[in-house]
Amino acid sequence: MKKTAMKALAFLLVLCLTVGIAPCLAVSAGAADRPAGEGEAVGVASYTVYRYYHYWGKNSSGDLYNSYGNGVWKNYESVTSTTPFPEHKVYDGHQSYRKSVSGMHGSVWWLESSTVMPTPTILTQPTDYYGPLGSTATFTVEAEGVDLSYQWWVKKPTATRFSKSSITTAVYSVALTEARNGNQLYCVVTDSEGDSVQTDTVTMIIGEPLAITADLEDYVGPLGSTASFTVEATGDGLAYQWWVKSRTAAKFTKSSVTASTYRVTLTEARNGNQVYCVITDARGNTAQTNTVTMTVAEALSVADLTDCAGPLGSTATFTVEATGEGLSYQWWVKKPTATKFSKSSVTGPVYEVELTEARNGNQIYCVVTDAYGNTARTNTVTMTVAEALSVADLTDCAGPLGSTVSFTVEATGEGLSYQWWVKKPTAAKFSKSSITGPTYSVELTEARNGNQVYCVVTDAYGNTVRTNTVSMTIG
């Protein structure tokens, strides 16, 4: 083939394998890139080998092809046809290809990929294992390479050198026993070409690993209250260091608190302070908690609700009296036949419904949440269909000196109780009398002339009603 023709065509590599491989390997490059005056041998007596820097790919049939067409020609070596080609490594990301050639036919360019098969690389190293006696110590190596094999080596604390273990996988897993406490190990990863890399040396130790088991929570409270934050952590020989930052500070500073609990009085100067804690175990491992804030605010509190009883069709009303900032409300209801409370649609401070047979005996409570996420739950109360509590008016009573005056309450309701109150003409306020029945009856004396009385009636549900005030008079 003439040079002019070669320059007009793409370079073609044809490597006919003579040892058990029938297909040919072909790679082309631009004619302008070809080194001038070389590469056209006469017969097969001698030839020049060039390296063409490019990447190998693989087609759908599994054949290699040049996946990047432009590269650089460089002289590799000159050999004779009687000298076998050296074994060249070609890497397509999955397999290693070895090609040996003992003879050539015609003018041939030998083009070898510059992307040779890489040596094994450790992607993720194994790490020390800390765990309780009897737990499973597991060490894993993640590596990249071709046809990788693994060999773990182990050394006891009393041994002078490492010994080959029986584990030849990427994962080394054994039960942590007293005999294995303190054992060291590493893994040698080897590829199909014999290249190898060794992992870090790690240790298995009987002990509790350092771990934070619960997040800290912000504290919100009134001035003068105690802001308290406690670390919940597991590990061996734990030490604590708290760090604090005020609202105006640019960075955290080390505090004097080195216990698991940080506790201070909440003052205006500390309002908005942030804190976190760094925990260190006996082996020097550290863990940092989340950062939390202490805030001065009106404390969240709720007053007790009271049961409500009334006749069918009346309105049952329950009102939460709460203090705090940015309050929101959620009421929960449970029927007498239900096993648990359900969230109601009422999200205000007042729960108000018509008292029906279906609602008779329903229980409710309210959860109040403030602007800082603090919650408070009221007591649980009941709505009951019952006879309405009512009283009729009393009338004044007049009689001769020494006669008996009587006042009787006429009331309706369930489980009624009575308490009478009396005030002399010269007294400033009423006093509780000893009479606790529906009738108040006394002898009309000069001392009682002009006395006033009324009665407070209470039903079984705590509802109360007061009668009008009446007088007893001599006359």
Amino acid identity, position 209: P
Encode burial over 321-332: b for 16+ CB neighbours within 10 A, e otherwise: ebebeebebbbb
In the numeric block, which tokens belong to residue 336? Answer: 């007498």
If you search the block for the tokens 């297909």, which residue do you land on?
23
What CATH number is given for 121-206 in this structure? 2.60.40.10
Q: What are phi and psi of 319, to 5 degrees?
A: -125, 130
Question: What's domain 301-385's superfamily in CATH?
Answer: Immunoglobulins (2.60.40.10)
Cβ-Cβ contacts under 8 Å for 427 (sequence gap 6 or more): none
Whole-structure pTM over 0.85, yes or no? no
Return d(Cα 15, Cα 38) in angstroms, integer.
18
Q: Which two tokens stand for residue 197?
A: 């890399």
| Domain 121-206 and domain 301-385 have a common topology | yes
Residue 205: per-residue pLDDT? 92
| CATH C-level class of 390-474 | mainly beta
| Closest of 299, 326, 218, 227 to residue 269, by C-alpha | 227
Enumerate helices (H) and strands (E) in the chain, giving the number of each: 1, 48
Domain locations in the chain as residue ranges: 3-99, 121-206, 211-296, 301-385, 390-474
Nearest to 151 by CA among 164, 162, 136, 160: 164
- Distance from chain centroid for Cα 19: 61
List the chain pLDDT tens, one digit each, 475 residues.
Answer: 333 333 222 233 333 323 332 232 333 333 334 333 333 333 332 333 333 333 334 445 544 444 333 333 333 343 333 333 333 333 333 233 223 333 322 223 333 333 345 679 999 999 999 888 999 999 999 999 889 999 999 999 999 999 999 999 999 999 999 999 999 999 999 998 889 999 999 999 998 889 999 999 999 888 899 999 999 999 999 999 999 999 999 999 999 999 999 999 999 999 999 999 999 998 888 999 999 999 998 888 999 999 988 888 999 999 999 999 899 999 999 999 999 999 999 999 999 999 999 999 999 999 999 988 889 999 999 999 988 889 999 999 999 999 999 999 999 988 999 999 999 999 999 999 999 999 999 999 999 999 999 999 998 888 899 999 999 999 8
CATH number of 211-296: 2.60.40.10
Instruction: State the pLDDT at residue 68.
Output: 37
DSSP secondary structure letter of residue 71: -
Burial of 117 (0-12, 13-18, 19+ CB in 10 A): buried
The conformation of residue 58, written as its DSSP 8-state character, comes to E
Using DSSP, state whether 31 is helix, strand or coil.
Answer: helix
